[in-house]
Amino acid sequence: MKTLEESRARLRGLFNITMTPFTADHAIDFPGLARNVERVLDLGFDGLLIGGTYGEFPALSTQERADVFRHVMDVVGDRVPVMLCAAGSDPRVVRELTGLAGDLGGIPMVTPPFVSEVTDEQIVAFFREMAPLSRTGILVYNAPGIGITLSPATLEQIADLPGMVAIKQGDLSPAAIDRIVGRLKDRIRLFCASDLAFLGPMAAGFDGISSTNSGAFPELLLQSYRAIEAGDSALAGRLHRLWYEFRALARQYGQPQTVKAAMTMRGFDGGAVRPPLQDLDAQEKTALASVLRDMARDPDCRLTLAD
């Protein structure tokens, strides 16, 4: 990516939210990260999201985040668009990572600054300050999990700022989705932030999704996404139901650690999580293995397990 126009043109489709694998002593496993990237690109994913919430960026230092950005962009080059999460509560860190992401050819993904009692006016001003720092534009992440949910009205104000190229929408309530599509479609790229409930936003007119669970089930999520992209909602819905039991476990145990454990069971580079998160315990792994074996029995899941 070199320009805003290129970002707007290429930001669409299924993006893998890439896990950051850690070794047993919590160092970043850079070779494993590269293998995870190559796996989904070889399958035909449209893009990547690196160092996001489920990439465990809050547990990484600013230098580590920059190192991950550089490593992934060296691996990917210009093959697909790459969202690089520059979110943070300290605007100095966000400025540094936003500028770096754009310089590397990625698209910086920025949340509102998650500090107490920040106002909508201050949030809009924050994005106005960040926008000129990236030559490739800014992707706004509306992430209710940080304690701030941007209203559709505030998102409209942000979308009108120069340099805004996409919104990753985490508030998936029907009313919010309806207004965002109705008011912002074709003005800015729209991404669904969750593969747990992407069928509705995609049917409504979103341009793509970012998928955490595609780390564990890249073949299944890709098949499901391509079905909805082709207008076959019945097939997409049936495929989505095939991994319901896994979604139930992930909600119970925590998504990044459950996805990483499933990746390891498939022979992928899941690695460990970094504190304060904790890896699944023996009982949780047993329950997960049972769910994966059941999924593997269905040929539509396209799931193989490591020996």
Positions marked catalytic: 141, 168
- List all residues 6 or more positions away from 80 whose beta carbon is below 8 Å from its beta carbon: 41, 45, 46, 47, 48
| Helix/strand/coil (H/E/C) assignment for every residue in 117-145 | CCCHHHHHHHHHHHHHHCCCCEEEEECHH
Rounded Cα distance, 118 and 112, in Å: 9
Q: Which residues pair with 142 in a beta bridge?
A: 169
Task: Report helix, strand and coil shares of the chain as percent, to nearest 5.
Answer: 50, 15, 35
How do 164-169 and 189-192 pair as beta strands? parallel
Distance (Å, rounded) from C-alpha 290 to C-alpha 268?
A: 18
Listed in sequence order, the residues at least 6 apart from 33 whose beta carbon sits closer than 8 Å to its beta carbon are: 18, 20, 21, 68, 71, 72, 269
DSSP state, residue 271:
-
Nearest to 140 by CA among 114, 117, 107: 107
Which pair of tokens denotes residue 35? Answer: 């293998």
Tell me whether strands 107-110 and 13-18 are parallel, antiparallel or unpaired: unpaired
Count of CB atoms within 10 A of residue 190's CB?
27
